[in-house]
Chains A and B, each alone.
Chain A
Amino acid sequence: MDGNNIGYLFAAFGIIWLMVFIYVFILLRREKSLRREIAALKEGMKKP
């Protein structure tokens, strides 16, 4: 049964890291947009 199973092993392995990277990506993107929003808000507070 060994021969084909390596595919499953790499599928599992790949999916774990894919999901981890997707999650990291989402976190970073959220972080970036929040940063931008904060900067914009602070800018807006200074002017008027």
Chain B
Amino acid sequence: MKSTAESSSVSLAVETSGLGKSFGNHQALRGIDLKVAAGSTLAVFGPNGAGKTTLIKILASIMRPTSGSVLVEGLELRDNAEKIRSKLGLVAHQSYLYANLSAWENLDFYARMYGVEDRGKRIGEVLELVGMTTRRHDRLSTFSRGMQQRVALARALLHKPSILLLDEPETGLDQQALSAMWDIIHRDNCGRTTIFTSHSFERALPVCDDVVILERGRIAYKEQTCNLNLDSLKQKYQECTQAVGK
């Protein structure tokens, strides 16, 4: 398993230093230093309001940080936003899909936005990958939550991103659908880096290489998955959230 080694020999997909974000007086993130090795999978845990979504949004360059910097594959995110965005795939809480358009039309739109070459072929591929080929011409509004999530995943994979960001992908999916999703992500994988946030240790631990626990905008704990089991992680989570909660 690859891992977030601190040594410089491993190339880094994402590196943040001193990342901070405040909304008025509320500090959502404070001084996040994170190194994610290329090709590894990082799981970010934390209670609601710990800053998980904020972190993902900043990495996706949707939100701009108040302080600190983000390097993506060695490039400063602030200065190279457009270039870097084409390397990122994003699945958020909401699907980012238009209810009045069909799955195909939605994907075609985003394929244009990402400048995907040979659009028709690639859309066919990702639809096949997520198993939505038969319903490709149905409107999004007729899809169940799980199906929408699959199309959202297809949307994120369209342009073959080298970094995939997932914000609580397990919400609204049952165990079966979730493992299908991870299966899809791994099947389409070609040395891709994945960063995802999660509430569920049971579901996340088997698929990640590294674990980070966020608490009140800070990194409270950082460990490689190979040094952890489910119980020790849960215990650590309790410690972190209670220690800061005082």
**A and B touching (C-beta < 8 Å)?**
no
